[in-house]
Amino acid sequence: MYGVIFDFLRSYVIERHGGRSTWDALLNEAGIGYKVYFPVAQYPDSEIVNLATTAAGMLGLPVTTVLEDFGSYVGPKLVTNYEMFVKPEWRTFEVLENASSNIHDAIHRHNPKRQPPLLRAARVTDNRMSVTYQSERRLCFVAKGIIRGLADRYGERINVRETQCMHHGADHCHFDLNRVT
């Protein structure tokens, strides 16, 4: 997994969970010790799982809750940090449509070592969307959080329901999105 995700995790821990000292404590507790993650370097997927599991243990929360909350933090950051990919007139559904058909695919084409998840978003009606997520990393909780974070960013209320999940044997996860306002 690319260092940019670890960078997001670091700022998430610092901003939402008590600052630099918590990040240092987390690295220690996870057995990693002092480490600087470079955004364009690649790190083992197991390291992000280790960090998320350790953070969940330290917070006394289920790891799924921590991953989803991390996703909700990342959603708005993606829009800001990757503004060259995101048009100003877009809202949640447009970001999702483009993350699937253009953004992730372009990232992978540009550098085949980058393996973003396979996302597919399809409108069912103006206010309903079907999203599928497929990745060996099985980080659908992060994806769900990203969707929630994007909705917050754009001031929209969107109910997100996961109707099938890779953690329960499905070959991809599926979300039903219902935009209320």
Applying CB under 6 A, which residues contact ligand HEM?
1-2, 4-5, 78, 82, 85-86, 95-96, 99, 103-104, 107, 114-117, 119, 135, 137, 139, 142-143, 146-147
Tokens of 137: 């990393």
Handedness of CA 107, 158, 59, 56 (dihedral sign): negative
Residue 160 one-letter amino acid = V
What are φ and ψ of residue 74, in 5° steps? -70, -35
Cβ at position 21, least distance to ligand HEM in Å: 27
Give dist(CA 32, CA 26) in Å, integer: 9
**Comparison of 9 and 142: residue with beta carbon closer to ligand HEM:** 142
Q: Of the two residues 30 and 52, which places its CB atom closer to ligand HEM in the complex?
A: 52
Spatial CA neighbour of 68 closest among 160, 166, 178:
160
- The single residue listed with the structure tokens 């993606």 is 78
Shorter beta-carbon distance to ligand HEM: residue 26 or 139:
139
In angstroms, what is the minimal distance from the CB of 28 to ligand HEM? Answer: 24
Using CB positions, name the residue nearest to ligand HEM. Answer: 135
Residue 57 vs 76, nearer CB to ligand HEM? 76
